[in-house]
Amino acid sequence: MTAGMFSACSFCIIIGKEVELMSKAIPINGLMIREMFRKGDIERDAGLTSPEDIERFDDIQYGTDCPKWQMLDVYRPKELQGKLPVIVSVHGGAWVYGDKDVYQYYCMSLAQRGFAVVNFSYRLAPEYKYPASFEDVNAVCEWITANADRYGLDTDNIFAVGDSAGAHMLSLYCCACANAEYAAETGYAVQKDLRFKAIALNCGAFLIETHDGDMTTAIMDEYLPEGGTEKELKMISPLYHLNEKFPPAFIMTCPGDFLNNQPIKVIPALEKLEIPFVYRRYGSAEDKLGHVFHCNMRLDAAKLCNDEEAAFFRTFMK
């Protein structure tokens, strides 16, 4: 098993036979996943530093429930003044791992494309179960609205990116923003004054299913209050809650992404609802790339993907 299998904030669905066998031999839990993922991310980002053309505003508290996790950074290109279009980054990590520090280099690279980028940490399972992380997404949206003038944030042009578990969370939060009936069922509030003009869903999952002995089942037991009942799994599967008000979406995957079958589950629903979307499958049979490859700042494919997503967002700017 390579370290890359667990790097870059992987989402815990069966990755392959090796992981399936491992999960049966050693009970997988959130703390183990944190250790595996962090090792891979440290290796990926070794030697990277903050770009000289980026201005950073670090460690801003956006919530009051848990100062350790409810923190955010804002990154802006130094050469651009005034209010800028905004990208909110919802990080991945199987709901149990990740923070803004892991995503700082990726988010600063997005800022270099002419955006103000909000990079935040949120409360993780198993310490904080659903819907804590969604409450934090909403709190960040409220913070953006309240602090737009101070940090030069153009609230008429707000976009968002999410990868892996972050793509799942972002798409589900957008479902709640677009679907009042579903929002009432979730138990968490949504920001009524903020809507994403478009989003990018990178290597994400849109239908959450569990199977005996797999890693998703183990994580759901720690993440969901009732351990992953059929009702809960339907509640957190974006596929069941889409409507025509869902924002335009850039959806991407690659051959080496263990979730590369997930887009085909949601694309028919987007087509039926006539929601604008772009679907891109990066890599090839020779270069399969890997799950959330776009976070690796050393890859040409990451540059291409992030360029194309930024260009997609610009098509929806006022």
Mean pLDDT across the chain: 90
Report which DSSP code applies to 247.
P
Domain at 3-314, CATH class: alpha beta
* Strand order, beta sheet including 249-253: 54-61, 71-77, 116-120, 84-90, 153-163, 198-202, 249-253, 277-281
pLDDT at 194: 83
Confidence of residue 318 (pLDDT cuts 50, 70, 90): confident
Comparison of pLDDT for 231 and 23, the residue scoring more: 231
Confidence of residue 8 (pLDDT cuts 50, 70, 90): very low
* Mean per-residue pLDDT, 96-101: 97
Whole-angstrom CA distances from 285 to 129, 248, 282, 290 are 39, 29, 10, 12
* Mean per-residue pLDDT, 20-49: 78
* Whether residue 213 has pLDDT greater than 70: no
* Mean per-residue pLDDT, 91-117: 97
Residue-wise pLDDT tens digits, 237-282 = 999 999 999 999 999 999 999 999 999 999 999 999 999 999 999 9
* Whether residue 20 has pLDDT greater than 70: no
Task: For 66-85, give the secondary structure using H, E and C.
Answer: CCCCCEEEEEEECCCCCCEE
Residue spans per domain, the chain = 3-314
**Is residue 17 packed enough to be buried (19+ CB in 10 Å), middle (13-18) or exposed (0-12)?**
exposed
* Mean per-residue pLDDT, 105-130: 97
**Looking at 19-33, 46-60, 123-137, which range is the least confident one?**
19-33
**Looking at 9-18, 76-85, 236-245, which range is the least confident one?**
9-18
pLDDT at 30: 80
